[in-house]
């Protein structure tokens, strides 16, 4: 594991849902090929130069010290902190990252700050001992392992990912799923209903289209496809009383 030091940790995001965030790792071994927006940005701003470098994560060694400094100053402004926005807090096969994420959540919770986590790795069961205000999510865009290996080569297998989420749900935690970036049929033929059924135990589902992918934008009826599938998600969530959010730009007709 490589380490770096940083000067700051908590910052406010400009994304649709989410308040403050922290990214205590540079790069991500999951190496998603949708492509990964965080990788594209890191390349554009010169923080990494190659895909291989992106896939070799670098942990911020002074994460906890930075939180100790920043929490007292920011705590009255923060509603929640999302781990993470440009990397993955529970990177598959990196226990040092998981340990640091758990320690960071513990510190934020101790200051009365709620945390939201999203991963394509494995959510550790220790999270069930933290504040029940926290929300734990996984990204799940398919149930087909062949697709996972092709598009998220370093991430956790889907079944393991789902089992870890289910364990937290069963322990009484709030759970959610991000079905984004959902693939068009020219990337993979699959059943959205099957995917929704697999995550029907969760409290919230987020659904969004794939962006920055030529194959998706060249799929002739991608707009109609996303309009139709977003409606299916809404119908499913309403029927099962699950909260939902459809990402901006996914529905293009009203």
Between 32 and 123, whose beta carbon lies closer to ligand SF4?
Answer: 32
CA distances from 134 to 86, 100, 118, 158 (A): 20, 17, 11, 22
Which of the stretches 1-9, 24-32, 41-49, 166-174 binds ligand SF4 when contact is defined by CB under 6 A? Answer: 24-32
Pick out residues in 38-77 that bind ligand SF4 (CB under 6 A): 38-39
Element (H, E) at 119: strand 114-119
Using the rule CB under 6 A, is 32 a contact of ligand SF4?
yes
Residue span binding ligand SF4 (CB under 6 A) among the ranges 32-40, 162-170, 188-196, 222-230: 32-40
Task: Give the nearest distance from C-beta 57 to ligand SF4 in angstroms.
Answer: 9
For the bound state, the minimum distance from the C-beta of residue 32 to ligand SF4, rounded and expressed in Å, comes to 3
Contact flag: residue 247 with ligand SF4 (CB under 6 A): no
- Nearest CB to ligand SF4, comparing residues 42 and 71: 42
Select 88 or 135, whichever has its Cβ closest to ligand SF4.
88
Nearest to 157 by CA among 177, 140, 171: 140
- 36 in contact with ligand SF4 (CB under 6 A): yes
Our finding on whether 213 is near ligand SF4 (CB under 6 A) is no
When the beta carbons of 42 and 66 are compared against ligand SF4, the nearer one is 42
**Site stretch for ligand SF4 (CB under 6 A), options 2-10, 29-37, 190-198, 224-232:** 29-37
- Give me the half-sphere count of Cα atoms (radius 13 Å) on the Cβ side of residue 131: 19
> From its phi and psi, is residue 18 left (phi > 0), alpha (psi between -120 and 50) or beta?
left
Instruction: Show contacts of 105-114: CB within 8 Å, 24+ apart.
Output: 105/130, 105/134, 106/130, 107/64, 107/67, 107/68, 107/71, 108/67, 108/71, 108/81, 109/133, 109/134, 111/71, 111/72, 111/75, 112/75, 113/71, 113/75, 113/78, 113/80, 113/81, 114/79, 114/80, 114/81
* Residue among 87, 101, 116, 184 that touches ligand SF4 (CB under 6 A): 87
**Single residue of 21, 66, 88, 165 touching ligand SF4 by CB under 6 A:** 88
- Is 239 buried (19+), middle (13-18) or exposed (0-12) by CB count in 10 A? exposed
Q: Which stretch binds ligand SF4 (CB under 6 A): 28-36, 75-83, 101-109, 215-223?
A: 28-36
Pick from 30, 114, 204, 247 the residue near ligand SF4 by CB under 6 A.
Answer: 30
Q: How many C-beta atoms lie closer than 10 Å to residue 176's C-beta?
A: 23
Binding footprint of ligand SF4 on the chain (CB under 6 A) = 28, 30-32, 36, 38-39, 87-88, 120
């Amino acid at each position: 594991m490589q380490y770096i030091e940083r000067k700051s940790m908590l910052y406010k995001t400009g994304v649709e849902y989410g308040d403050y965030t922290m990214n205590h790792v540079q790069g991500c071994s999951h190496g998603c090929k949708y492509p990964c927006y965080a990788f594209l940005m890191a390349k554009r701003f010169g923080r990494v130069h190659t895909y291989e470098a992106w896939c070799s994560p670098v942990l911020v060694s002074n994460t906890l010290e930075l939180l100790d400094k920043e929490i007292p100053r920011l705590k009255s402004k923060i509603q929640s902190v999302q781990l993470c926005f440009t990397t993955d807090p529970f990177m598959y096969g990196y226990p040092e990252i998981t340990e640091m994420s758990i320690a960071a959540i513990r510190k934020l919770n101790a200051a009365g700050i709620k945390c939201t986590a999203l991963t394509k790795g494995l959510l550790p069961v220790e999270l069930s001992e933290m504040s029940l205000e926290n929300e734990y999510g996984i990204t799940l865009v398919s149930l087909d392992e062949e697709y996972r290996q092709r598009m998220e080569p370093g991430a956790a297998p889907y079944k393991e990912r789902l089992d870890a989420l289910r364990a937290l749900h069963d322990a009484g935690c709030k759970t959610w799923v991000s079905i984004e970036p959902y693939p068009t049929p020219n990337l993979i033929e699959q059943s959205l209903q099957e995917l929704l059924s697999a995550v029907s135990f969760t409290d919230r589902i987020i659904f969004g289209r794939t962006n920055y992918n030529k194959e998706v934008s060249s799929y002739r009826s991608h707009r109609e496809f996303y309009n139709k599938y977003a409606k299916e998600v809404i119908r499913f969530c309403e029927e099962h009383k699950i909260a939902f959010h459809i990402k901006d730009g996914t529905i293009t007709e009203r």
